[in-house]
Structure 1
Amino acid sequence: MKTDLFSPEAEGRARILMIISAFSEQPGEIVGWAKLFRLDFLVRYPDTLINILEKRKVSQRRLSQLDISGDIESRMIMYRWGPWDPLHYGYAAHLYSRGMIEANREKRGMIFRATPAGSALAGDLASHDDWEVLYQRALLARDYLNLSARKLTELIVDSKPSISTAKFGEEI
């Protein structure tokens, strides 16, 4: 991805929007901040995504469509419960304030869904080559890894053991 074309903040907001939009299509939702953080990790670190999908017996035909090239525009940080980016809250607040996502607190946690305007913008972004790669990763995660945050964390740690030894606050 040509990261020089976008500021990291704008790219991060677009990535989060595409993840939420992908999970809102069926119709669906993302339940909880932690799940959103783990999905973002998988979209940003496609080598880990592929490793997990291979272990879950996803067809090579489907995996061969996944582009794993490109740099990560910003590293995630190890936090107590797994990978985290301190900008997630700001990204979600920006998207919510612009009417791109719904964010509602329920008993089971924060619920994220794309609005029609957010889904349309995510679709427009995904029609461009640089963004299509990220959207395809989000769709693979939706199709094969629509799991709890806890299960996603387990899969990530099993796939990338260095995460379990990272110190709090350390970039991963």
Structure 2
Amino acid sequence: MIRYKYGPWDDRYYPILGALVGRELLEYVPRSSGLAVKLTRLGRQLAKDLAAEPQWQITVQRAELIRQNFNLTGNQLKDLIYQFLPDVVDRPWGDEI
């Protein structure tokens, strides 16, 4: 990832998000701070269908564990990063993390 002013990001995410929006699996949602994305009904159904597949069970279990223990807002996650990863916070913007 790349360190930016408002958190870690990577420019490679944009084409992936665009592809998911183009396939109607995600949709852009306007927010006061810019744009966010959320699953569409089709995207939610596909995620549900994939979660039922045996080869996705480890991923499903890990995602659930993360959600149960780290269901945080972006600001809460940022605060944890600042608290526990000061070497990341001190890097210049645009540096690879």
Tell me which residue corresponds to 2:20: 95
Unaligned runs of 5+ in 2: none
Separation (CA, whole Å) in 2 of partners of 1:163 and 1:135:
28
Unaligned runs of 5+ in 1: 1-75
Tell me which amino acid in the other structure corresponds to 2:27.
E
Separation (CA, whole Å) in 2 of partners of 1:91 and 1:137:
22
Separation (CA, whole Å) in 1 of partners of 2:7 and 2:17:
19
Q: Give how far 1:147 is off.
A: 2.9
Tell me which residue corresponds to 1:77: 2
Percent same amino acid among aligned pairs? 35
Gap change, CA 1:81 and 1:107, over 3 Å in 2: closer
Tell me which residue corresponds to 2:77: 152
Tell me which residue corresponds to 2:11: 86
Tell me which residue corresponds to 2:44: 119
Structure having the higher Rg: 2
Q: How does 1:1-172 map to 2 (within 5 A)?
A: 76-107=1-32, 109-126=34-51, 127-129=53-55, 131-172=56-97
* Alignment size in residue pairs: 96
Tell me which amino acid in the other structure corresponds to 1:91.
I
Q: Give how far 1:101 is off.
A: 1.3
What is the TM-score with the length of structure 2 in the denominator?
Answer: 0.71
- Higher strand proportion (structure 1 or 2): 2
Cα RMSD between the aligned structures?
2.5
Local SS of the residue matching 1:99: coil
Separation (CA, whole Å) in 2 of partners of 1:108 and 1:77:
20
Tell me which amino acid in the other structure corresponds to 2:40.
T
What is the TM-score with the length of structure 1 in the denominator?
Answer: 0.45
Q: 1:125 touches 1:132 (CA, 8 Å); kept in 2? A: no
Q: Give how far 1:83 is off.
A: 1.3
Separation (CA, whole Å) in 1 of partners of 2:94 and 2:58:
29
